[in-house]
Every structure is written in structure tokens, then in C-alpha cells.
Amino acid sequence: MKPDWDKLMEKFKGHATALVGDVDCTAEGGKELCETHGVQGFPTIKYGDPSALEAYEGGRDYAALETFASENLKPMCSPSNIDLCEPDKKLQIESYMKMSAADLDAAIEKKDAEAKEAETTFDAEVAKLQSKYEELDKAKTATQAEVKASGLGLMKAVKATKGSGSSEEL
């Protein structure tokens, strides 16, 4: 992916409204930036408003990256580009702009907690599913072994022998 990403960075170099770049999350300067934006695995691609980046989930080859960048890396609805917003988003931004810093921090903290709770619930339910899967897989394997040991192979061999015409029956 790195060669394709480097090619994309070169294409967007000096672009008036879009930036395609990379950050080394293991280096001193990049570590904090990556933590701020929730980067947990590598490579992670994020896009959008720098204060509220979103995860990119598309293809990782040059064609997919270039298509996505060309269609999506442009000025977007945000407090600094409110003229690009739909009326409902404008109202939402305006209501947030009227909030005190403390109230805004509390609202952000509440929404972050809701998102974290959703992730925690998801992880717990996946763990339960994994446990159930392992239990079912173990039971299936044991049942298949019992069936095999009960003579299934011999039954099939006898059937094949009878079907091949070597039977004494006429």
C-alpha cells in the first residue's frame, strides 16, 4: 500500500483544499497526534475535518484511494465552512457555537462515553459469540468423531461394494 499512498500524496501535493499525508505513529511527534485521533492499528486512513476525522474503510490500491480522494477531499460542512452545510446541520452547528466551553466539553464527554459503551458492549457480545462458537465447534467435532467411529466408513464401503456388482445377490 505504501507505494500507492506515496503516489497519491504526490498527486495531491500543493492542492488548494486537500491534504494527503502520512504520520509515523511510533515516532515522538506522531504518537500524540495518533492518540488524539484514535489511531490504534497500522495502516489507518482517516479523512475529513481535522478536528473530527473519520475512518476510511475503502480499498487500499491506488485506483480506489485516488477515486475516494478525488470525490471526498474537498471543503466540507463545518464551523469554518458553514455555507456548505444543509439547513439542519447549520442549526446544529449554531446551537453548539452558543454553548459554553464547559457545556460543550460535557456534551462531548457524554457522546464519547456513549460511543465507548457501544464498543464495550460489542466487544463483550463478540466474546460471548466466540465462546459459543468454540463450544459448538467442539461439540460438532466430537459428534463427527462418534459418527465416524460408529461404522460410517464401513457402511459406505459395503454400499460401494454392493453397488459395484460384486454382490452375491442376483
pLDDT per residue as tens digits for the range 138-165: 999 999 999 999 999 899 999 999 877 6
In a domain, 169, yes or no: no
In this structure, the number of other CB atoms found within 10 A of the CB of residue 8 comes to 20
Cell triple for 140: 460438532
Mean pLDDT of all residues in 117-135:
95
If you ran DSSP here, which 8-state letter would residue 154 be given?
H
Q: At what angle do helices 62-72 and 2-12 cross, to 10 degrees?
A: 30
First to last CA, the chain: 69
Instruction: Return the residue matching grid coordinates 439542519.
Output: 88
Q: Which domain holds residue 156?
A: 99-164
Which of the four pLDDT bands, split at 50, 70 and 90, describes residue 170?
very low
Residues 16 and 71 in one domain: yes
Note the pLDDT of residue 5. Answer: 84
pTM value?
0.55
Mean of per-residue pLDDT scores for the chain = 87
Note the pLDDT of residue 74. Answer: 82
Residues 10 and 42 in one domain: yes
